[in-house]
Amino acid sequence: MFKNLQEMQNYSEKNGIKMVDFMMIDLNGRWRHLTMPVERVNKDSMKYGFGFDGSNYGFAPVEKSDMVFLPDLSTAHVDSFSEIPTLAMIGDVYVIEQPENRRFDQDPRNVAFMAEEYMKGTGIADEMRIGPEFEFNVFDQVSYSIKPNSSKFKVDVYQADWNTGVETEKNLGYKMPVKGGYHQAPPMDTMAAFRSRVSMMMENEGIGVKYHHHEVAGAGQMEIEVEFGGMREMADKTMLSKYIIKNAAIAEGKSVTFMPKPLYNEAGNGMHVHMHLFKKGKPLFYDENGYAQLSELALHFMGGILHHACSLCAFTNPSSNSYKRLVPGYEAPFLKNPTLSASHSSHSRVFLLMYI
């Protein structure tokens, strides 16, 4: 949004901005934030950063926990959910050192930065464009309890098939069938207007929305697909998209989850990621005469993902719930054996690639 501090200060004065919110990602992939009056942001703070306790983010031991956050002014946006006019911005984590602070190499955003620089250094490509698809469930009620002697959870979605026989409140039918929600129209799709409102909020924050629709799972599963962008750019926009979607839902008395398999016997939430490599604006995965019009580089790219699939799962499928989604019968990839081997069908291989 801004190229320099002066632009930010001018915008803030003109638009009545009172606070600045700094957004950071911890090692669990969740956003943390630190808020301060806009007047506290000056040349020195933009040069030396803002101190915080890195131990609570999982970044450092308690006895050596002081770190600094350096905001990226280009990511600034007005937070739609703040009562007080607030500019929010993402940034990078630095380790305090002399004579100059250095990037913290385990900060997810810095990992993305170093990956992009490595890609350029190889000479293979100078740009990677990413297009993620966001799948999530919208619930009308969520309750759970974890105690030493018991555990339980219960979710509800008014449009879900399990509510066809409800008589304690007004029930007009039009419930979404199990595994039958894909591209369904209103009145069965009760979330269409919500998705449009969320999509417009995302557009206002510079996140181009390709389309949205109801997904396969009848119990409130949605999808919003966004336009392509650079790798680090889309990583930022992915975090911002989740922030917008979740808070927009809360504002409307609903709750959103992106967890892979929130409901038994229903389709789970994948995060399909389209990837392209470019060099000097030229697409490197296209070859008019190649197999399926794919270049040799594209085939090696796919082979590399398959070769490192087990390691990648630490990031793409980090929880036990991830593997509850990867079972037969749900349009998701699954493996016949626990390790990659020649016995896996080509069908499984293709879907593994698509869903990583």
User: What's the mean pLDDT in 184-197?
Assistant: 96
User: What's the mean pLDDT in 127-134?
Assistant: 96
Give the separation between CA 77 and CA 86, rounded to whole angstroms.
Answer: 8
Q: Which pLDDT band, with edges at 50, 70 and 90, does 331 fall under? A: confident
pLDDT of res. 28 = 82
Among residues 35, 44, 24, which one has the least CA distance to residue 85? Answer: 35
Q: Are 251 and 133 in contact (CB under 8 A)?
A: no
How high does pLDDT run on average in the chain?
Answer: 91
User: What's the mean pLDDT in 6-24?
Assistant: 96
pLDDT of res. 200 = 97
Dihedral angle over CA of 301, 304, 308, 313, nearest 10: 20
Among residues 239, 207, 204, 248, which one has the least CA distance to residue 226? Answer: 207
Radius of gyration of the chain (CA): 23
| Whole-number percent of the chain with pLDDT over 90 | 82
Task: List pLDDT tens digits, range 75-117.
Answer: 999 999 999 999 999 999 999 988 899 999 989 899 999 999 9
Q: Which pLDDT band, with edges at 50, 70 and 90, does 326 fall under? A: confident
Local structure of residue 286 (DSSP, 8 states): B
Strand partners, 354: none
Q: Which helix (H) or strand (E) holds 198?
A: helix 192-204
Q: Is the C-alpha dihedral spanning 5, 8, 11, 12 positive or negative?
A: negative
Dig out the tokens for 225 from the structure: 């697909």
pLDDT of res. 169 = 79
Predicted structure pTM score? 0.90
Q: Are 244 and 229 in contact (CB under 8 A)?
A: no
Residue 7: alpha-carbon gap to chain centroid:
29
